[in-house]
């Protein structure tokens, strides 16, 4: 695990509660991220975050959880590096900031704020059965989502033009 | 100006760039907020934020600007109480946190993050020609937007169910 | 109260618990700040913060409280403009950021962090019976503290040299 | 590297500029932290932070850098897990929050704010040639500092009484 810092970092965002299909997709996404030797970044709690981290650990990956609370022990058991922030929901921007690309799975308004921050920060945001916001690149499967997330950003794909996105 | 702290606080959110119609709507919204003796809270910069603050000051209101940068002097000239945060876009949650209700006018992804935070925090979010997100209460005019914003929240109107909102 | 934004802003920092002498000094400092038509900025809670705000309101001043919690109603009753942050103790830097000069009265480690941020940000930090840190300008009375706080910064007085300050 | 999350995390805080002796002490501290299989947490930038991370990597440790800026690439080359925050100096509280104990080496006011946060949060703060603040446990050598940092907290050692600390 030399040069961890040079590995890609993929954020997985989604709700703390999610249905079975979303959790399975998240676990598959996490596994594929780890198999690609990318680092998984997430919000560190339950639901989609935990399923993705579980998947990544099953494949021997490294997982980072950026937590809303002030105690690192709030993290789910599959997080290697918990980062306590004490910022509450305000930490959502930090999840987006620490990923090269984001994969949104299901999710509600917290996920929506992370999608918005991802696009503000010029990150590619891939969507799996999540909000239908313009600016999100839709994917049909975990495989496609991770493939898109790992793809180098094409130069013409700006993150912020946005105007037509409402 | 006794008991300022007991006055309602209405947040106006929207883009730093906006077209003429949006700016006029924002100025009108700001004026109506001030006429209702509510405090205007916004992000303190240009575009919709400045137009709303200008409208509020024209009617003698009090204006608060919660700024992304670390210098209070970044505020537009119509802000009475600039609050520097040094948090960058991460300050968007603080705008939502400091309003009893939010009026979104136009806007892009920064506005979208503020809408999301407003709904997460259980605030009523009223929309004027902005994102078509479920959870936003649409309004057709500045008058209707401010009327809705000042209306006491009805008990049945939860902020977080959200699930059907994608 | 036109042009509030152009008035000086003086931060008063100190503990949420304090002895009678400190509270009396804080109230006097608050009153003198208001009499000088400066805005009082503080952490919005009890003890020194509340005493200073009470003093400022007794003289008709404007008071801003930058709160650790996410509810504006956490503010003491003498705060005109409560700013909820939801940042916990992390909000201490924002208190320093929003003052042209700081007056520290008594206080423990939270106050110490605010003193440190004040000096980092190049603000004059005046001390009344508080930490004996180099970099703090000591004052012997509320009158002297407020006079020093309102004095224009002399050009030779750098905020960050610091090295000899331990 | 199983169970990283269960390893102790030791924060090393100190200035971005430091003299040779401090840098050597920091590198030694970093190495000893890694040899004890603890994770090094720091602010991710230069000076003491970089020397400590360099020492930890030389012994095969894991290093986390909690950065003030919004780009993970701001981290020094010895950081495995850079965490961008975009919070500026406000991130100092997060460094303290993510360590079980802190070792302060040299440093100026930024370090002082981290010491204050460490004590507020009830963490043991060990000092090597740094601020002479009551509440810091002084150490005479890197070896003693790391030994003290790894020692279980004794129950009688409260973090916040503080009152006698000025």
pLDDT digits 0-9 by tens, C32-63: 999 999 999 999 999 999 999 999 999 999 99
**Which pLDDT tens digit goes with each residue over D10-34?**
999 999 999 999 999 999 999 999 9
Does the pLDDT at position D164 exceed 60?
Answer: no
Whether pLDDT at B64 is above 80: yes
pLDDT tens digits, one per residue of D108-125: 999 999 999 999 999 999
Mean pLDDT of C109-127: 98
Look over chain B and give the mean of its residue pLDDT values, rounded to a whole number. 92
Cα–Cα distance measured from residue B29 to residue B49, given in angstroms and rounded to the nearest whole number: 11
Q: Are strands C137-138 and D9-14 parallel, antiparallel or unpaired?
A: unpaired
ipTM above 0.85, yes or no: yes
Sheet-wide strand order for B9-14: B81-84, B63-67, B39-42, B9-14, B101-105, B124-128, B137-138
B144, B124 Cβ separation under 8 angstroms: no
3-state secondary structure of A46: coil
The C-alpha R_g of chain D, in whole angstroms, comes to 14
Contact status, residue C44 vs residue C19, Cβ threshold 8 Å:
no
Among the listed residues A47, A48, A117, A41, the one whose alpha carbon sits nearest the alpha carbon of residue A82: A41
Does residue C22 register a pLDDT over 90? yes
Q: Which chains reach chain B with 3 or more Cβ–Cβ distances below 8 angstroms? A: A, C, D
User: Any CB–CB contact under 8 A between D71 and chain B?
Assistant: no
Query: Is C109 close to D165, i.e. CB distance below 8 A?
Result: yes
Cβ-based contacts of D93 with chain A (< 8 Å): 86
Judged by a CB distance cut-off of 8 A, whether residue A155 touches chain D is: no
Q: Residue C142 pLDDT > 70, yes or no?
A: yes
Cα nearest neighbour of B91 on chain D = D87
Closest CA to D29 of D136, D133, D149: D149
Q: Do B112 and A116 touch (CB under 8 A)?
A: yes
Local structure of residue C17 (DSSP, 8 states): S
| DSSP 8-state assignment for residue B3 | T
**Best residue in A71, A88, A94 for a mutation probing chain C (most C CBs within 10 Å):** A88
The answer to whether the CB atoms of A165 and B108 lie below 8 A apart is yes
Can you spell out the DSSP letters for C59-90? Answer: TT--EEEEESSS-GGGS-TT-SEEEE---GGG
Whether the CB-CB separation of C59 and C38 falls below 8 Å is answered with no
* Residue among C37, C63, C82, C7 at smallest CA distance from B7: C82
Of the candidates D75, D82, D97, the beta carbon closest to that of A84 is on D97
A88 touching C (Cβ < 8 Å)? yes
Q: Pick A116's closest partner by Cβ from B116, B121, B162.
A: B116
The ranges of chain A with pLDDT < 50 are: 1-2, 156-166
β D39-42/D63-67 pair status: parallel
Q: Measured between CB atoms, does A70 come within 8 Å of chain D?
A: yes
Collect all residues of chain A within an 8 Å Cβ-Cβ radius of residue B113: 93, 112-113, 116-117, 120
Q: Report yes or no: A99 and A9 within 8 Å, Cβ to Cβ.
A: yes
Percent of chain D residues past pLDDT 90, beyond the cut = 87
C-beta neighbour count of A79 within 10 angstroms: 28
* β-bridge mates for residue B118, sequence order: none
How far apart, in whole angstroms, are the C-alpha atoms of residue B37 and residue B4? 9
Is pLDDT above 80 for B154? Answer: no
Percent of chain C with pLDDT over 90: 87
- Separation between Cα atoms, residue B119 and residue A115, nearest integer Å: 15
For residue A89, which residues of chain C lie inside 8 Å, CB to CB?
A: 86
Q: Is B120 on the interface with A (CB under 8 A)?
A: yes
CA distance A108 to C77: 36
Closest CA to D82 of A120, A59, A74, A3: A3
pLDDT of A153: 67
Task: Give dist(CA C127, CA D127) in Å, integer.
Answer: 25
* Residue D70 pLDDT greater than 90, yes or no: yes
Please enumerate in sequence order all residues whose Cβ is within 8 A of that of B140, keeping only pairs 6 or more positions apart, or say none: none
Residue C111, SS3? Answer: helix
pLDDT band at residue B153 using 50, 70 and 90 as cut-offs: low
- Residues B62-76 have a mean pLDDT of 97
Instruction: Band the pLDDT of D153: cuts 50, 70, 90.
Output: low
Tokens encoding C75 = 């503010």
Beta-strand relationship, A63-67 and A81-84: parallel
């Amino acid at each position: 695990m030399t040069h961890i810092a040079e590995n890609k970092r993929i954020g997985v965002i989604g709700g703390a509660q999610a249905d079975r299909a979303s959790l399975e997709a998240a676990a598959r996404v996490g596994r594929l991220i780890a198999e690609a030797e990318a680092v998984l970044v997430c919000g560190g709690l339950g639901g989609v975050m935990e399923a993705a981290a579980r998947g990544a650990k099953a494949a021997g990956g490294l997982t980072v959880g950026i937590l809303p609370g002030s105690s690192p022990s709030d993290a789910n058991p599959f997080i290697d590096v918990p980062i306590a922030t004490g910022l509450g929901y305000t930490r959502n921007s930090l999840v987006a900031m620490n990923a090269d690309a984001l994969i949104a799975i299901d999710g509600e308004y917290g996920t929506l704020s992370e999608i918005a921050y991802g696009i503000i920060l010029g990150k590619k945001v891939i969507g799996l059965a999540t909000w239908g916001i313009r600016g999100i690149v839709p994917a049909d499967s975990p495989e496609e989502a991770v493939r898109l997330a790992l793809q180098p950003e094409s130069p013409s794909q700006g993150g912020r033009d946005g105007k037509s996105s409402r």
